[in-house]
Amino acid sequence: MDEQEQDPSGDRRQWAATVLAGLGTAEDVDRALTTALDPHPDLGAENSVRRARAVHAAALGLGPAGCAAAAGIPEPMLAGWRAQDPAFDAALASASALAEAHRVAPPGKVGGFGLRLLLQSVAKGVHAGTAAAIVGLRSDQLLRLRRTNPQVSALLDAAVQQARGLRGNDRRPRRGHAYRLVHVSDAVPPEETAQR
């Protein structure tokens, strides 16, 4: 009997670990290429890329939480961007309408991009139920997906293992790095500063 037939779960675990490592490598490559092009990027350019990622996620059928996760920002910040930038709001709304018209991601289902965000979130220490909600799945839908698809189950197991490796021995996930936007305004003259 072939060794592969004897322990398909072992191969599946190895495959899942390799896929998860590839996701991390892809993020590193994106960062390296961006830095190679502009070692000192300005905040405006970075936010433009984040907005584009949010629109991409909306076109793939993800809701506000998924769009924020794709952009790497908190959901309230995404809402703020929408309120302050009518063009961005219109683009996000159009992308969402396009996804809905073409039934890109029917309720209770997740596509490849959504699965990627889910796995990346879990690998960074986010609870699987919370990560599922980000991509529009309820916990029971995630559980059903795990039970019916051994590959997805193996990928989630690998993500959980990676998160445990990041945390070390503590049981609670460490809080990830938060994205912080700093508003830079015109400098206040020194005499006004002294009066404040």
Q: Per-residue pLDDT tens, the chain, 196 aa: give them.
A: 444 444 456 799 999 999 999 998 988 898 889 889 888 878 888 899 999 999 999 999 999 999 999 999 999 999 999 999 999 999 999 999 999 999 888 888 999 999 999 999 999 999 999 999 999 999 999 999 999 999 999 999 999 999 998 766 555 545 555 555 555 555 555 555 455 5
CA 99 to chain centre: 18
Tokens, residue 7: 């322990």
Give the pLDDT of residue 6. Answer: 43
The backbone region for 136, taken as left when phi is positive above 0, alpha when psi lies in -120 to 50, beta otherwise, is left
Please, what is the Cα angle at 97 between 95 and 103, to 5 degrees?
105
Residue 168: what pLDDT? 63
Q: Residue 71: which residues within 8 A CB-CB, separation 6 or more?
A: 50, 51, 53, 54, 57, 78
Q: What pLDDT, on a 0 to 100 scale, did the predictor assign at position 110?
A: 93
Which helix (H) or strand (E) segment is 16 a member of? helix 8-37
- pTM (2 d.p.): 0.77
